[in-house]
Structures are given as structure tokens and as C-alpha cells.
Structure 1
Amino acid sequence: MSSVPAWLNSSSFSPRARSPPETPPETPPPPRPPLVEALVERADPLMQAGSSGQQEEATSHDVSRSESSRAEQLQAELEKPRIDLNALRQLATQGIPDSGGIRAVVWKLLLGYLPRIRSQWEEELAKKREQYAQFSQELIVNPSEKSRASEASDGDLPSGGELRRESVEGDHPLASGQASVWHQFFQDTELWEQIDRDVKRTHPDLPFFNGADGGSNENQGALGRILFIFAKLNPGIKYVQGMNEVLAPLLYIFRTDPDDKNKEHAEADAFFCFVELLSDFRDHFCQQLDNSEVGIRATITRLSNLLKQRDEELWLHLNVKIQINPQFYAFRWITLLLTQEFDFPDCLRLWDTLLSNKDGPLEILLRLCCAMVICIRTRLLGGDFTDNLKLLQNYPSTDIDGIIVTADRLRL
């Protein structure tokens, strides 16, 4: 069995706080590795000597000052004529401050929606937004309106128009032909109903998606339209339950952009960024590929192998001793990009790192998932099948930055 790094055995990775010893030890403990030291200071204030209110206030001030400095650095990068993506990634992976719409612009750049040449942004955005408007007009169709439009366009045509008019007149709600717009309409209705059920369940605790005002209804409508258009343009995948959760952070960030023009076109921007993001994960949503080399089961196996390589003791306990199949918890983690495991602000922070990875989001996603398991290893090693399955399927509140730092240490 490979040796386990000392820092992995630290109880600082457990969300349970530890009480300080009543009497100091006779001999000082061996120094902790820097990673554990940092995690203990963040996650376990009881371990700090004299954690007074003044110290907490000073720490909060330091964090605020650090975020302000990072916001200035990000803004400086965004104002350059040619964006340095490597520099942008290095800053964004540390967390993007929630101010000035910076996160919205940075995410669009990291996802490849905005070009690196700043002078091309306006033209590219106008083109994409017009394209989305065309998608909406062509794919979201009322058959009655389409029939009236066809009749109007055929009115002055003598022969060809007569044939087309007969076709329109024969296209009615009871028509069963595959070419019938009504037949397609009823098929679309089934798709709309499936999407609508999931959209209404999206983040029920957030007023943005489920508030009492009309704004949340419009946001739900935007989610539904994006998912419907995506399904129509991707018949091989269509819509799969859970896509709404992956789309939600994008729409939220773009629609809360303080720039009014960007906010107005948030739906179009979210659609194209959703397409870009899903290009790295679309095989996970295709059931026919589940058992292939690119399917979800192969990805879960990669996660299991990473855990075995980095912490064989914990891997043996979970997979051999108590026999928890990684699919029981990792399927949701991976397919939904961790959107259901943490509070929404923490999810946005994780996505800053997820989208900033130069090797692609899947590689860092697997390391983040592995880090999540390792960060609660003390509790997992002491638990049985039932306790551990419940723990992994209902991940406890923890230090997000600690998970990100641990994931970085797992880099191959």
C-alpha cells in the first residue's frame, strides 16, 4: 500500500470543529505542512491562539483588500487591446470578486464566447445575439401563425402557390404526417412540459429563480427557451434532466450584470456559453455512450483511479471494505458540475476555478471531486456503508477554498 501523505490525515479536513487542549503539550507538535496550516487557520478558528474579534476583523479586512486588489488586476487585464488568457486564468482561478460585472465578462472570455481581441467584442456579440433571435423565431413556432404566414406568402403565386395552399389547408391539428407543423407542435409540447417541470424546480430557495415578482417568471422563461432551443438544435442529445442546473449559474451571472445592454441580451449570451460549456461534457448526457470510453461511467472510473492513486487507504476503505460504488455519489457531482453540492455563492466560486483551468474543465472537475472525498477522509474512515453514503450524497458544509487548494495539490 502506498504511504499516505501526513497532511491528508489531518482532522482539519473534517468540518467538525475541534476544541483546543486544556493544557499545552509538554513538547511542541511537529510543524504542519503549509497546506494544512492554511486550512486549519481558515476552517478551524478554535485551533488559532487567541482568536479574538480583533483578529477576525483584521482577517476580514485582509480578505476584502485582497479581493479589491484582484478586481483591479482583472479589470486591468480586461482593458488590454488583446486579452492575455493565461494571466486571466491565473487571476480568475483565485476567485472573481462579485462587483462591476467582472465575472460575467471573464466567464465569457474563458468559455471562448468573446474573442481575445477587445475591438472585436461588439461585432461578435451583435452577430451572436442576432443568431439567437433567429433560432427563437424559427424553432419556437405557433402552428396557427405559421399557417397564416404561409398563406399570406402564397397569395400571389398562380401554380406553385396553389399546391402550397393545398398543403397548408391539409395541415390541421389532426394531421398525422411527419411534415405537419401541428404534428411537430405536439411533439414540441411534450418537450416543453419536460423542461418546464425541471425549470420550476431550479434553485427553489433563490428569489432570482423562484421569487414572488415577475422577474423570476421571466428568468424561468429564459431558462426554458434556452433549453428548448438547445434540444431542437441537438436532436442526438435533446434535453436531459439536470441541464437546467448547469445553465442556471450562467443565466444568473449574465442577467445580474450591471451593464444594461448585456443584461438585456443575457439569454442569448447564456445560450452560447451553455453550448460551449456542454461541449466538454455532452457525452455524459448521452445514454448511448454511458459504457463507452467517453461516457459517464468511464469518467467516474477515472475519478476512482485518481483517488486510489492519491489516497489508497481511503480508496480501499470505500471501495473494498464497505463497497460504496462511486456512481452512487459521483454521478451527480460530475454531470451537474457540483451545482447541487454547495450553496449557490460557493458554486459560483468553484466555477471560477472550473472555467479557468488551462487543461479544460473536466480535468479540474475530477480533481475537485477527489478533493471533496479527501477533505472528509477522517469521517469516511470512521464510517460504515450507510453513514458514508449519506455523507457523500449530502456533502457537509465546508471550506470551499480548502477544497480548491487540495484539488490543486492533486495535480498530476
Structure 2
Amino acid sequence: MAYKARLKEFDDILNQDEINLKELRKLAFNGIPDDQGKRAICWKLLLNYLPPEKASWSAFLETKRELYKQFIDEMIVTPGSKEVDGDVEDHPLSINPDSEWQAFFKDNEVLLQIDKDVRRLCPDISFFQQPTEFPCSVVVNSMDVKRLHRRVERCVLKCANVERKGLGITKIALSLKKANEDYAPMDEGHEAHWEVVERILFLYAKLNPGQSYVQGMNEILGPIYYAFASDPDVEFREWAEADSFFCFTNLMSEIRDFFIKSLDEAECGINNMMSRMLVQLKNSDLDIWLRFQQLELRPQYYSFRWITLLLSQEFPLPDVLRIWDSLFSDEHRFDFLIYICCAMIVILRNQLLDGDFPSNLKLLQNFPPMDVQIILSRAVELSKQKF
């Protein structure tokens, strides 16, 4: 009965002519039911994609989805196809800075990394290897536009998500979730979900040349796309790609500073977030803080990945979705993320107090499986402590 009552609370909010975002945040903070499309629609509101006025949704979504189509048409191109009086204007050896071939080769450097990353996205579930119901027809059925994965020559690259030098260790975020094999592309006329994610990330990189693509962005986009592409409402599911692109863009506008090395020391940068977490840990459990100081176990060694990737690599996807319900509902994003990180440490208190540097580092970098609600409940407790 409690579950049905909770569904009704969401319905009462979502059926209003104008969504009360304050009430939605309060309700969604404790978790959004994942059936009937509740999570997908709530995330679109919480990520400031959908406007609160429901009457404007139809026209708004039509405009955004048409814009996304334009991005595909204009930015995923096959160069060298322009001709004037029978002569090809552009060619692969052209040194013209406006040459489409020059852009093509430069794009492929970024695409190589994107392709490698998306082929190993969430290997603990089969979703991203499966075909989408709604492949992009202009891509899979057009002779003028090449599928992105075909542009990439396969090569071996070291796999380290959000690798960052200058924090005291060479590799701080080796991905522990490994796929046995790279995901295979679909046959002509079809495409897998990972291919859709690849296209979204490629377009994002093209539209944000100052930042482009950084390893780990695939881990931010993956859960959003999964939630939208799993929407029970077929009308919303059909547009999961476009909606995911804009929600991902909005979220990245909030956390992009975590991915920019030149801003590490800035107030909005990753080092400040890790410092805040350490202060909170000191306030929450002085004994653990002192033990970490004694061992010189710095937050860069374990929490860099936690914070930058919003814990998306520390837990199974269903748990990540639940955690993100709370993170997206946090009006002061991302304060609650700090409390979750501290809760994760405090819950392992006894082991961490007894452990040495190697064992503690291994424990924190391989957080043990547990009910995520235990962690979230402890995080709420820590957020209410007075110091």
C-alpha cells in the first residue's frame, strides 16, 4: 500500500498544470519509482530540461528534437563530397583550414577515445549491447553519412577512466568494470544502444570544442540514456537519444569543471570538492580522519573518481539510478554527494581503522557490495549533524 501511495504522490505532482519543483525534489530525494516512466520524466524536470509548465512541453520537445536532428545532419558528415564544375573542392591532403577533411581527421582523434569507452559501458548488464528500437535512419540507411564506429581504426589504448596526472599518483581511476570483449556493432539498418551513446558524445564534443570529450563522460551519460531508453512510454522512448543529449549537456554544465584540469584548484574544481569531503569526514568521524592522516591516505587516491563520476563506477546501475534520484533532487548540488562519500567511509569504519595503507586503499577503490539504502540513510544522518 505504501508503494501505491507513493506512486499517487508522484502522480499528484506530475499531473499539475505547473509542476511544483520544490515538492518534486522533496519527494524524489527519497527515490523515484522506476516503472511507468516516473524516473525519466522526473529527471528531465530535475535536470532543468523540461519547463515546469506542462502546456509548453509538446512544442518545447518538438523544437529540441528538431534541433538535435540538425546537429546530426550538420556535424556527422562525409567530407570530400562537394563538387563545382566537376572538380572536387576538398580532398584528404588539403591544407585549407576550412577543409572538411581536416575536421574529419581531427574529429577522429576524439572519436577513437569515445568509441573505446562506449564499447565497454556498463558491462555488468547487456542493455548497451542490445539493438535500439529506434535506430537513427539518417545514419543507418544513408550512403552519405558513415556510421561513427566505422571511422575508427581499432587500436590498443590503455584503459583508465578519468586518468589525471599531477595528483601524486600515475593512475587514480583504473576501471574495475571490464567487458570480456568489445561490443559488436549491429548489421545494416540496426544499431546498438552503445552506438547511440557514441553519437551523443561525439556531437557533444563537436559542440563544446573548448572541453571536447574527456574519459568518464560516457559514465555520466550512460545512466541517463538507460533511464530514457527504458521509458515504458513509447513516445518518450522514441526520442531517448535527443532528450538524453540535452539532459547530459545540462548536467555537464554543472559538473564540467571537475573534468577541466586547469580548474582543479578553483572553488568550482575537483580539489575543492575533495577538500570539502575531507572536512566533512573530520567532523563526522575524527578517528577515521586521524587514521587517514597517519597513513597519508589522501582523498585524491579514492574520491577523485567518486566525485567526478557521481559514483557511477562504484555501484551497479540500479543503485546508481537510485543515488542519482537524490543527487538530482539536491537543490544545492552537489552537497549531498559529499555526504554520501563520507557515509561510504564511515560505514567501513572498523575495517579502515584496523587496515594499513594498501588494504584501505584497495577497500576504498573497490567498495564492497551492500544495500545502497544503508549508505543513503547514513548520508542523511550526517547531513543533519550539527557541529
Aligned partners of 2:369 and 2:3: how far apart in 1? 23
C-alpha displacement of 1:289: 1.4
Which structure dedicates a bigger proportion of its chain to helix? 1
| Aligned partner (choices 127, 140, 144) of residue 208 of structure 1 | 127
* 1:369 counterpart residue number: 341
Question: Aligned AA for 1:372?
Answer: M
Work out whether 1:72 is the aligned partner of 2:20.
no
| Aligned partner (choices 253, 269, 272) of residue 295 of structure 1 | 269
Aligned partners of 1:280 and 1:410: how far apart in 2? 24
* 1:137 counterpart residue number: 73
* 2:92 counterpart residue number: 173
Superposition TM-score, scaled by structure 1 size: 0.77
Aligned partners of 1:67 and 1:178: how far apart in 2? 60
Aligned partners of 2:251 and 2:78: how far apart in 1? 30
C-alpha displacement of 1:304: 0.9
Aligned partners of 1:68 and 1:369: how far apart in 2? 31
Aligned partners of 1:402 and 1:218: how far apart in 2? 35
Superposition TM-score, scaled by structure 2 size: 0.81
Question: Aligned AA for 2:342?
Answer: C
Aligned partners of 1:338 and 1:349: how far apart in 2? 11
C-alpha displacement of 1:281: 0.6
* 1:93 counterpart residue number: 29
* 2:383 counterpart residue number: 411
Provide structure 1 residue ranges, at least 5 long, that are not aligned to the other structure: 1-64, 156-164
Aligned partners of 2:96 and 2:186: how far apart in 1? 39
Contact 1:322 1:384 in 2 (8 A): yes
* 2:353 counterpart residue number: 381
Q: Could you list the per-position Cα deviations for residues 354-375 of structure 1 after superposition, in whole angstroms to 9, with x for gaps in the alignment?
A: 1111212x11111111111111
Counterpart mapping for 1:224-235 below 5 A: 224-235=198-209
Work out whether 1:308 is the aligned partner of 2:282.
yes
| Aligned partner (choices 301, 309, 317) of residue 336 of structure 1 | 309
Larger mean CA deviation between 305-314 and 191-200 belongs to 305-314
* 2:18 counterpart residue number: 82
* 1:283 counterpart residue number: 257
* 1:8 counterpart residue number: none
Aligned partners of 1:305 and 1:397: how far apart in 2? 26
| Aligned partner (choices 218, 235, 239) of residue 213 of structure 2 | 239
C-alpha displacement of 1:214: 4.7
Work out whether 1:192 is the aligned partner of 2:111.
yes
Aligned residues: 329
Larger mean CA deviation between 368-377 and 210-219 belongs to 210-219
Aligned partners of 2:218 and 2:321: how far apart in 1? 15
* 1:183 counterpart residue number: 102
Provide structure 2 residue ranges, at least 5 long, that are not aligned to the other structure: 131-183
C-alpha displacement of 1:68: 2.5
When the two chains are superposed, the root-mean-square deviation of aligned CA atoms in Å is 1.8
* 2:369 counterpart residue number: 397
Contact 1:203 1:210 in 2 (8 A): no
Contact 2:80 2:90 in 1 (8 A): no
* 1:321 counterpart residue number: 294
* 1:260 counterpart residue number: 234
Contact 1:68 1:97 in 2 (8 A): no
C-alpha displacement of 1:217: 4.3
Aligned-residue sequence identity (percent) comes to: 46
Change in CA separation of 1:79 and 1:213 when aligned onto 2, cut-off 3 Å:
farther
C-alpha displacement of 1:93: 1.1
Question: Aligned AA for 2:345?
Answer: V
4+ long deviations beyond 3 Å: 211-217
